[in-house]
Chains A and B, each alone.
Chain A
Amino acid sequence: MAYLSVIVLLPLAAVAVRSVDGGLGGFWRAVSSPEAQSALELTVVLSLIVVAINAVTGTLIAWVLVRDSFRGKGVVNAIIDLPFALPTIVAGLTLLALYGPRSPVGVDVSYARVGVGMALLFVTLPFVVRAVQPVLMELDRDMEDAAVSLGASGWQVFTRIVLPGILPAILSGVALAFARAIGEFGSVVLISGNLPFKTEVASVFIFGQIESDNIPAAAAVSIVLLAASLLLLAAIAGLSRWGRRHEL
């Protein structure tokens, strides 16, 4: 407990205390400065878009991994975790190598919001896949077979029978991915080029404020991120309880 306190709790408490150094008014001014506001807005909007894409592609990938069979499926299954294992700065660099200024395919997303979004897609890829995959494996296929024999189309079977079963898993994967996306730094930093009001996300903004010794602003925006992640963690705990109730 002491170890946890010294390394984790005390430093986080310091952030909370320093964020209200100038009173609640000071906190509010720091968070609502045009640059901070634009960074926070961009972070939330991009993260929402990214997790929406993840919800679809993640479910699709999980489906293919569970229900389809083809040569090399084991390898595909293993590389899903690569974004978790690969250092984030390397993730950013690899995306820039293919989709950056010297792109061999003529696509340049550096210093653009699309590029930042791609970096977030890269690092959050495994969350939905890994949340949905085990649930999909457990799913009873009798109901699907019954529906098909009664003349339901593939799409009907998916939306009426499969989707309700895996929805809690999709949502908890989405929540985890969102929590990761709003705080992501390493993969974004090279691609974004740190252009305020254009590609600057919250974590990059915080880093900039620390560098220019504007600690109150850095601490205030940090607290906003921290509060958002804590709410999400609570939501995930709630979701997993909901998911378990559906199993009964």
Chain B
Amino acid sequence: MSSRSRSTLALRSTALGYLALILVAPVGLVFYRTFEHGFAAAWHSVTTPAAQHAFWLTVELVAIAVPLNTIFGVAAALAIVRHRFPGRALFSSLLDLPFAVSPVVVGLALVLVYGRKGWFGGWLADHGIQVIFSVPGMVLATIFVSLPFVVREVIPVLREIGTEQEEAATTLGASLLVTFRRITLPAIRWGVAYGVVLTTARALGEFGAVSVVSGHVAGQTETLTLHVQDRFEAFDLAGAYAASVVLAILAISTLASMSLLKRRGAPA
């Protein structure tokens, strides 16, 4: 064997070994532990009332956050790429803020505005609205952390497609809405789809920010990620592993749909 191919082999095994130790083996073991007492036992652990409630609450948060961030994301991307307005560069860089902020800081920030002693806390309490330690706060936290994904995916696509077709449509008398629906939207659809997948993945998996604003009441304000922690701390490892596997399967389907979308979007 030549020295070149030997060094290639050494590099390959180091890289794959590292990935196996830090990524594949731990994730694989959780799957094994979940199903080591059979599928029925695992199913039993994820269908407890608390686990089911956590699952549906997570779905609810995603169902609110993803459409809002998608609409906002497309509108913001259009504004940044197609219009000039004062503060455009600032607006664009502010959009990345949620990526740079620790999830715990996000939670704290929401508490300071909407909490009992927060800026709007008094007014909200007077009107009988509870945001923090209840679902609205968790919705806000989820929207916050998953906000930039659609914008970031749509901006480069909008730049790429240019304005020629849109201008042609407008010249031929199409209204703004028709132009958007018939020309712009079909052109950016893969970018939007990709952004939606990323937003969904982040919203499903958010832990830190939601943890701060939730209050952790099992069966009420517990999402699936919080349920994992709760089960772990109650020494119910089977429950923690089973809920983790549900989240991991969702994560893996995200990856799968991402690579599918990449392949579809590429020729366009």
Q: Are A233 and B100 in contact (CB under 8 A)?
A: yes
Q: Which segment, of A76-84, A131-139, A165-173, faces chain B? A: A76-84
Q: B interface, by DSSP: helix, strand, loop or mixed? A: helix
In the assembled complex, which residues on chain A have CB atoms less than 8 Å from the CB atom of B104? Answer: 183, 185, 203-204, 206-207, 210, 222
Q: Are B26 and A99 in contact (CB under 8 A)?
A: yes
Q: Are B22 and A118 in contact (CB under 8 A)?
A: yes
Q: Does A95 contact B (CB under 8 A)?
A: yes
Which residue of B30, B105, B207 is within 8 Å of A97 (Cβ)? Answer: B30
A107 to chain B, nearest CB (A): 10
Q: CA of A183 to CA of B109 in the docked complex: distance in angstroms?
A: 14
B254 to chain A, nearest CB (A): 5
Which residue of B12, B103, B117, B225 is within 8 Å of A68 (Cβ)? Answer: B12
Q: Which segment, of B39-47, B88-96, B156-164, B175-183, faces chain A? A: B88-96
Known: A61-B19, A93-B30, A185-B103. A87 touches B205 (CB 8 A): yes
Which residue of B16, B95, B255 is within 8 Å of A85 (Cβ)? Answer: B255
Q: Does B199 contact A (CB under 8 A)?
A: no
Near A by CB (< 8 A), chain B positions 175-224 give 201, 204-208, 211-212, 224
In the assembled complex, which residues on chain A have CB atoms less than 8 Å from the CB atom of B35? Answer: none
Q: Does B124 contact A (CB under 8 A)?
A: no
Known: A61-B15, A61-B18, A90-B225. A219 touches B255 (CB 8 A): no
In the assembled complex, which residues on chain B have CB atoms less than 8 Å from the CB atom of A10? Answer: 113, 119
Total A-B residue contacts, Cβ distance less than 8 Å? 222
Q: Does B14 contact A (CB under 8 A)?
A: yes
Interface residues on A, range: 35 or more
Near B by CB (< 8 A), chain A positions 126-167 give 154
Q: Does A104 contact B (CB under 8 A)?
A: yes
**Considering only CB atoms, which chain B residue lies closest to A207 in the complex?**
B104
Q: Are A11 and B106 in contact (CB under 8 A)?
A: yes
A73 to chain B, nearest CB (A): 10
B125 to chain A, nearest CB (A): 17
Q: CA of A30 to CA of B161 in the docked complex: distance in angstroms?
A: 51
A157 to chain B, nearest CB (A): 11
Most buried by A among B105, B226, B237: B105
In the assembled complex, which residues on chain B have CB atoms less than 8 Å from the CB atom of A97? Answer: 26, 29-30, 33, 241
In the assembled complex, which residues on chain A have CB atoms less than 8 Å from the CB atom of B25? Answer: 98
Which residue of B33, B100, B206 is within 8 Å of A179 (Cβ)? Answer: B100
Known: A1-B91, A85-B255, A186-B225. A210 touches B108 (CB 8 A): yes
In the assembled complex, which residues on chain B have CB atoms less than 8 Å from the CB atom of A102? Answer: 237
Chain B residues proximal to chain A, CB less than 8 Å: 4, 7-8, 11-12, 14-16, 18-19, 22-27, 29-30, 33, 68, 72, 76, 91, 93-113, 117-119, 140, 143-144, 147, 201, 204-208, 211-212, 224-226, 228-229, 232, 237, 240-241, 244, 247-248, 251-252, 254-255, 258-259
Known: A4-B91, A97-B33, A185-B103. 6 other contacts (CB 8 A): A4-B147, A64-B11, A80-B19, A82-B251, A154-B4, A183-B105
